[in-house]
Structure 1
Amino acid sequence: MESALQTVIFISLGAIIGANLRYFVAQYVSRLAGSAFPLGTLLINITASFILGFFLIWTSERVLADPRWHIFFAIGFCATYSTYSSYAFETFSLFEQGRWGFAALNVLLTNVVCFIAVALGAALARSIQRGS
């Protein structure tokens, strides 16, 4: 049985990696794409959705992963790599600036594309499992 301290350590290690990766990806995409649309946050949330969909299906349907990996990866890494609060604030900012089209596009893309990304991640995990 895991101790509470071990659980905190696994969550924290995943969170350190996820939060730092989110920061660097957002900075990089912002430099490439500019700031008219929050593309960095969108890309982060899409990739986090894909990764989480893949990981949870991969580890729950075939590979019985050590529960510490779930704590590290799903709770620590993916939860801090993805960024719902930034998405919500950036959408609110677009709305306040009168850029309603971008605000609506951000809501639509984030919800639809992140859902598709989870489904694609899950499908990839299942496809790999069938092949092995």
Structure 2
Amino acid sequence: MNNLLLNIGFVAFGGAFGATFRYLIGIGIVSLFGKGFPFATLTVNVIGSLIMGYIFQLVQQGTISTTPWWPLIGVGFLGALTTFSSFSLDSLLLIQQGELLKALLNVVLNVVVCLFAAYLGTLLVLKG
């Protein structure tokens, strides 16, 4: 039971930081690129995928221990930072606004680039 409570604390702590970074990145990206395309969501999804691949590979190799790192970063921080629900809503809104090409581009970029970023994260550990 103590491990469960400790892990819940790690998730909550990581989540607080992930949500804060998500908010700050969103403000920064919108100020740079505007609201014409959901670049903020794409940015956090790519960053989150890269970190997810990296942390996953470190845990798999035994370079870092599962606890506290997976609950803290893999679940808490990245769970709050990445925004699949926002990605889904952004895509739906683009479709509803008749922006089918932008919606398709958003879906393809988020899926392909984030898969590549997760793969790159694992490679950073393996090559480093």
* Aligned amino acid, residue 109 of structure 1: L
Q: Distance in 1 between matches of 2:64 and 2:76?
A: 19
Deviation by residue 1:61-114 (Cα, 9 ceiling, x = unmatched): 141415121111101001110000000000000000000010000000000000
Q: Distance in 2 between matches of 1:61 and 1:124?
A: 13
4+ residue segments displaced more than 3 Å: none
Q: Distance in 2 between matches of 1:43 and 1:77?
A: 15
Identity %: 30
Q: Distance in 2 between matches of 1:66 and 1:106?
A: 33
Given the two structures, how large is their TM-score scaled by the length of structure 1?
0.92
- The within-5 A match list for 1:1-132 is 2-128=2-128
SS at match of 1:63: coil
Query: How far 1:2 sits from its partner (Å)?
Result: 4.0
Deviation by residue 1:48-73 (Cα, 9 ceiling, x = unmatched): 00001011101211414151211111
Q: Which 10-residue stretch deviates more, 53-62 or 110-119?
A: 53-62
SS at match of 1:3: helix
Alpha-carbon distance change, 127 to 62 in structure 1, aligned in 2, over 3 angstroms: farther
User: Alignment length, in residue pairs?
Assistant: 128
Q: CA RMSD of the aligned region, Å?
A: 1.2
Q: Distance in 1 between matches of 2:118 and 2:66?
A: 22
Given the two structures, how large is their TM-score scaled by the length of structure 2?
0.95
Query: How far 1:5 sits from its partner (Å)?
Result: 2.0
